[in-house]
Structure 1
Amino acid sequence: MPFTFGGVFSRFFKLIGENFVLLLIIGLLFTVAPAVAMYYGLFSSIGVTGANWPTQIGAMGANGYAILGGGVLIIAVLNLISLCAITEIAILGAVGKKAGIGSVLAHALGNCIPVLIIGIIVTVLSSLLAILLIIPGIMFMIAAYVAIPAYVGQPDVGLWGAVKRSFDLTRNHRWGILGLIIVLGLISSTIGGALGGTAGMIIRTTDSLPFSIVQGLINGLSSVVSQIFVAAIYVCLRQSKDKTMPETAAAIFE
């Protein structure tokens, strides 16, 4: 099965359509709620909102930085748990099996530490390469784009092996993946901007707690969509390389 733009979007919408309630629960628990909580905390403690953060963050003290840093770390970990769960749902769906929320979350929590390490490895190497040479940094990030789903789908490959597996899966498709990321980013920013603008007109001020909560909701939902998109890309890449998703792909979750 060839890897195409249409195939990825088809898998993306199929994944949502077949697992809407399950994805909604996981997304709300591990991505949307934490994002809203952080926005609430930043506004309540130091008055930071989605509109004034460039000036407020620069002026906040140690307490503000502690809240921001702790919030970012917690959200990153929870988002990785969510991505693990969504990847398992995508893999099971590709071989015609239904996912149960209990087993999916249990497996995702069990993978928390390994995928966090993989995330740190990819982020650090991408950042270093981007500082030294921008284009190689971007291309490394694209090559390692499905490293975490690769570990979830084939944990026996190990931590660095998951990065290498991602390099193998994305080979000959990296420009296409970059294009998909750009398209999704444009769609998300357009919809998010429209929702934020509408909320601003209704609330009438962007320097308020309600607007901060709306911003948290929008950013959280955008992150959930991105996670589903990564899982869809991984499944499509694996189907392209293996010609089909092997029935044994679901065996690791049993």
Structure 2
Amino acid sequence: MKRRTKVLLGIAVGVVVVGAAVVVGGPVVYANLVNGAADAAPTLAPSGDATLAAADAEGRWTSTAGSFAGYRVHEVLRGQDVTVTGRTEDVDAQATVTGGSLTAATVTVQVASISTPEAARDEYFRGTALQTDRFPTAVFRVTAPVDVRPALAGTDRDVALRGALTLHGVTEAVTVHAKLGVDRSGHVQVAGSIPITFADYGVHAPDLGFVTVDGRGAVEFSLELAM
């Protein structure tokens, strides 16, 4: 079966499922089900209140198990607000700390592995929206050093990372507002989101008549880093 046929069939199945939910339970019930399945926004783990001396942070950090990335979008279904989140743990991150500053960092996400509870939505996301066969990864690179000593010392967990986000083959300058913490094992966690406008990356938000997707969303991430 050709890929385009699979995509169209997947969307058709999704439409039938949504339509059935609307008919049987109504838009409110369906919206509550989807919203109930949405993941919480990434944040520092409760154990992320330890500290780390700047000298001990010097060197190269690499992502470990527990890291994830994904997206958050808002939909409107027959007047009902719906929040959808997709997640993947197929993330590779590398960061370098020198002189108390984050001097380099790269986060690479395998976009095709991002999933939600609905396979039809995932097929549309991978095949039609982001064309992951052509653009399999999303990459964020830090482009300016940032002093992380206050975050490592626990005096100010907020960090602003200036960088470049490459998505769907398009690169845009972005500023990421994130939280940085240290857990009791000495790992560093960085959690945050990047607001995006889909059209900036050549991505068209779907409009199926009874459900529309906002033209803006967010790339979300939570990184567990170890030396």
Do these two structures clear the TM 0.5 threshold for a shared fold by scoring above it?
no
Normalising by structure 1, we get a TM-score of 0.32
Normalising by structure 2, we get a TM-score of 0.35
Q: Which structure would you say has the larger RCO, counting Cα contacts within 8 Å and 6 or more residues apart?
A: 1
Q: Which has the higher helix share?
A: 1
Q: Which has the higher strand share?
A: 2
